[in-house]
Structure formats: C-alpha cells, structure tokens
Amino acid sequence: MPPIRVLVVDDSAVVRKLLCEVLASNPALEVAGTAPNGNIALAKIPQINPDLITLDIEMPGLNGLQTLGEIRKLYPKLPVIMCSTLTERGAAITLEALALGASDYVTKPSNSESLAASKGQIQQELVPKIICLAGRRSAKFSSSPTHLPAIQRSATQRIDVLAIGTSTGGPNALAEVIPRFPADLPVPVVVVQHMPPLFTRLLAERLNSRSQLAVHEGEAGNVLKPGEAWIAPGGYHMTLVQKGTDVALELNQDPPENSCRPAVDVLFRSVADVYGPHVLAVVMTGMGADGLRGARTIRESGGEVFVQDEETSVVWGMPGAVVAAGQADQICPLERISAEVVRRVNAGPRPANTRLLQAKTKA
C-alpha cells in the first residue's frame, strides 16, 4: 500500500519542520509538500495531489478559514486537519472551521514543551488521525450487527436519561442532533465529546445558542433536569450520582480511558449504574472504540443503544465497534437520530416527576 501523501501548511518554519520530521519518520506517511500560506497551498494541491492536508488556522494573507473554504469548493472530499492553538481564540476558530467542513483538528504543542514532548504529542494525536481520515483504516466493521441483540426489551419501557458519546466529526454531528430536540424533551441529556478544555465550553455555548434545549458545560453538583443537556468538560471524566431524589454530575481526573479524558465508557457505566434499564445511549462518529464497553454495560443493565450509520459518519470507528460487537439496538443515519430518540423516549410511560430516580425499580 502506498504511503499517505500529506501537504503541511503552516506559516511557521519551525512548526513545518517539526511536523515534517514526525510524519516522515512513519513509513505509512509521506510529506508530499509544504506551504507557508494558503495561496501557495492552493497552488500546490493540483501539483502534488495530496491525500490529506494539515492546515494552520492563523496565517498572513489567506488565513486557515479562507483557505479551507477554497479547498472545500475545489476538493470537497479532501481530508483537512486544522492545527489550532490551545487558546480561547484558537478554540473558537477551530469550531468555526469544523462547521465549514474541516475533517478534524489537533492542538499545537505549547512553546514551553521540550522538543521530545512536542514530537510525542504530534505522534500520538496527529498521526492516527491522518491514517484514519486518509482511508487507511486497520479494520473495517460490518454495517450490520454480527449477531442479534442478546437482550430482548419492551418497546414501551420507560427511558429516563439520554447519554451521547462521540469524537471525530462529533461537533457537527451534535449540531445536527441536539438542536432538533424539542424544548419539552422529558429526559436530561449527558454528552461526552472528545475535546480539550476551552473547546468543550465553547461547544456548549455554540449548541446552546442554536438549540431549544439549554446546553451547558458540566460542572460538579449540577442537578440533571429534563430538557437540558450537559457536555463533559475537557480534561475531566463526567459521572452521575444520586443525591436524594435528584441525580447530579460529578467530575474527576482519574486516568484516561481509551486514551481519552473525558471518556464515553466512564459516563456510560455511570449512567447504567444510576438509571439501570431506563437508559437510551447514542454512539456517534468517532475514531477508536471508546463507548463499546460502556454500551455493553448499558445493555446488560437492560438499557438500549442506538448508533450512527457508517455512511453519515466521518469515521465509523466508535459506532462501528458497537455494531460489530452486536451491541446496537438500532443503526440510524445522522439526520434521523433526533427523531428516533424522541420517538423512543415518548414511547414509554413518564413518571410524575422525571427528576425522581426510579432506575432500580425495574418499572
């Protein structure tokens, strides 16, 4: 298999050199070319025919967003990974880039890090995304379950909480799903999106401004309420705990799971522990298999799991892993997820007070 050809675009000669050294050290990758600005990058694309572009956000002349816009007009399917600074401005522009069609993003190493640490961060965060997005996946998942679900469920069993897990492609997927929920959604929503600090807060604010639900970045002690959504903050696992008749959020900085913090598995296990069989989980687009073990726990507790289909996923890693393990109750295209969730939530009886914890009653 030929190596993946990468075009590296960054106005910093130091950053270009660092990226090129790391990428060139991987036999699966080839640095097809570099460019110090957007205009040169656009001129080089037809000359070198890259499989993927890494694109700096802040550049003189044609900046990253403008360059991305031109790339999407001319090469709509060409994967583009944005390289962002871990700042509020960088996070805000990155979310805008994702909305404009960027495939994914990475944060640049900080200036305070050693050369070895910077190279290690690029190797850990950027290289797997390049390999995945450029189509050289190490494994393919079947688009249908490998066996029938082992647990038969009542179509009218009550749902008391909705839990969502997603990663690569997730911000746009969430922007498609959450704004379509009605303001009177009778259950709370908890979400893990793999993102660093700052990014999750800005994502919550962005979704809140576009949704009928109130969307927040989760804080320890927040009490879950129907018609509201909480996104796990970057750098923290988010879990649920019963406090009297309420259910509240807790945050911790336990070790990452699946190389992630927040991790979907952590949230899903917690949701299953608190709500038992009254859980509906949704696993959407993302690299890796975070959420698989949590989905299995939810189903073993009697809950249900929906997944996004392969065709509408940016990367069918997380949902594909759930399907391949036979843990998906339903496979939905992205544009149908909201409607299917609302249908399923409304199919079961509602308790008089949806904030009451009734998970262990087996109602």
pLDDT in tens, 40-90: 999 999 999 999 999 999 999 899 999 999 999 999 999 999 999 888 888
In terms of residues, how long is the chain?
363
Query: Span 161-361: which CATH code?
Result: 3.40.50.180
**Does the pLDDT at position 137 exceed 60?**
no
Neighbouring-strand partners of residue 84: 107
Q: According to CATH, where is 3.40.50.2300 located in the chain?
A: 4-133
Say if residue 193's pLDDT is above 70.
Answer: yes
State yes or no: pLDDT of 146 exceeds 70. Answer: no
pLDDT in tens, 30-54: 999 999 999 999 999 999 999 999 9
The third-level CATH classification (topology) of the domain covering 4-133 is Rossmann fold (3.40.50)
CA gap 257, 263 in Å, rounded? 6
Q: How confident is the model over 219-240, as pLDDT tens digits?
A: 999 999 999 999 999 999 999 9
> What are phi and psi for residue 238, nearest 5 degrees?
-115, 130
User: In this predicted structure, what is the pLDDT of residue 147?
Assistant: 40
Residues spanned by CATH 3.40.50.180 within the chain? 161-361
Just list the catalytic residues. 167, 194, 290
30: which 2 tokens?
A: 């080839």
Q: Nearest-5° angle of CA 141, CA 147, CA 148? A: 125
Mean pLDDT of the chain: 91
**Closest alpha carbon to 43 in 9, 12, 5:** 9
